[in-house]
Amino acid sequence: MMKKRLLTGLQPSGDLHIGNYFGALKPFLDTYGEYESFLMVADYHTLTSKKDSENLKENIVNIVRSYLAVGVDPQKAVIFKQSDISEHTELAWIFDTLVTVPFLMQAHAYKDKVAKGLEANAGLFTYPMLQAADILLYDTEVVPVGEDQRQHIEYAREAATKFNNAFGETFKQPKELILKGLGVVPGVDGQKMSKSYGNTIPLFGSRDEIAKAVMSIVTDSSGDRPENVYRIHTLFKTEAELTGLYEEKKGKYKDLKEALIEDIEAQVAPMRERYESIDEVEVKKVLKEGNEKAQAIASAKMTTVRKKVGVAL
Ligand code: ADP
Ligand code: TRP
């Protein structure tokens, strides 16, 4: 039986944090073996928010190092780069012509980013249609992402429906895969942990960097349990394991933070070692092989799409 396709992508927009790990990478790792899997570097999405070419280049390399360091096997998942497969932007254009401005206006991610001061450029506005193209080009059925991406997957379904209604059945309906009970990982300030908000615990940070971030977690002094510390701690230990500790160290925020640092360190230290050992040569090799596989599928699909819309003579 043919395996279903699974695809996800991360933006190379900065160092990964534990929110990315538990929201996107971990669900990917837990499930990708059951599917024909694709893991993309969403570099063109990053251009909507950042224009720093040297930094982008470095982050592209680092995100592939991250994929490999957390344990993704490039023989079992196609690791590729969005910008190398030009069919993504081509298909995004077609989707842009199918969805309306008021529909795109409802995107929470767009509104949030503009409210946070990001430039409302046209690329940021049509961002969900490039993401729809990423997903639909590969007949993806499963998309593991964090809670904040749920609406973007709905947008991809809408793009598929609009296209299929206009030109005949062409695209499959993808479904998001969101880890139950996880939701949004809070940052050190209690808001969603995000590269853009400077409130992260870095995934490949040194022990000192991790300790510094944990020590800065905002604690609410109204109760015995520092909720922000506890919420992050539940990612590393079960609630049953934590009950005793939080009972014993009631009100001792510093001790609880130190315990959290130890638990994070135990899990990330081996990944950090692998990360440090992967160089740019290896990254380029992995991308070259992945891009070839992705390109073959994308080319074939776009040939069909061009015929369906009527531009192929
Ligand atoms: P950031 O907000 O740090 O820029 P991205 O938007 O690049 O992160 O997100 C990459 C992936 O990680 C997405 O699938 C997203 O849903 C997930 N993710 C990011 N932040 C969190 C978080 N705080 N909790 C859970 N998942 C997250
Ligand atoms: N928008 C996603 C994010 O910021 C990244 C992304 C781009 C993506 N294309 C995708 C995720 C396709 C899943 C599938 O996290």
113 is catalytic: yes
Q: Is the CB of 49 under 6 A from ligand 1?
A: no
Residue numbers of the chain with a pLDDT score lower than 50: none
Question: Is 212 assigned a catalytic role?
Answer: no
Which residues touch 140 (CB under 8 Å, ≥6 apart)? 5, 6, 7, 38, 172, 174
- Is 257 a residue of the active site? no
DSSP-derived secondary structure for 177-207: E--TTT-PPB-TTSSBP-GGGT---BSS--H
Structure confidence at residue 121 (pLDDT): 97
List, by residue range, all CATH 1.10.240.10 domains of the chain.
Answer: 195-275
Domain with CATH 3.40.50.620 in the chain: 5-183+280-309
What are the pLDDT digits (tens) for 179-225? 665 678 999 999 999 887 899 999 999 999 999 999 999 987 667 78
Q: Which CATH superfamily is domain 5-183+280-309 in?
A: HUPs (3.40.50.620)
CA of 113 to the centre of ligand 2 (A): 15
Interacting residues of 4 by C-beta distance below 8 A, sequence separation 6+: 35, 36, 141, 142
Q: Model's pTM, two decimal places? A: 0.92
- DSSP class of 136: H
Pocket test for ligand 1, best of 60, 66, 108, 148 (most atoms within 8 A of CB): 148
Residue 295: phi, psi to the nearest 5? -60, -40
Pick the ligand that lies closest to the CA of residue 150. Answer: 1
Q: What is the pLDDT at residue 211?
A: 97
Atom of ligand 1 at shortest distance to CA of 200? Answer: 3
Strand-pairing partners, residue 8, are 39
**Nearest alpha carbon, ligand 1 atom 7:** 11
**Burial class (CB within 10 angstroms; exposed 0-12, middle 13-18, buried 19+) of 277:** exposed
Q: Express each pLDDT in 102-123 by its tens digit.
A: 999 999 999 999 998 999 999 9
Strands of 142-144's sheet in order across: 77-81, 36-41, 5-10, 142-144, 175-177
Of the residues 26, 81, 113, 249, which is catalytic?
113
Q: Where does 195-275 sit in CATH, by number?
A: 1.10.240.10
Residues in the chain: 313
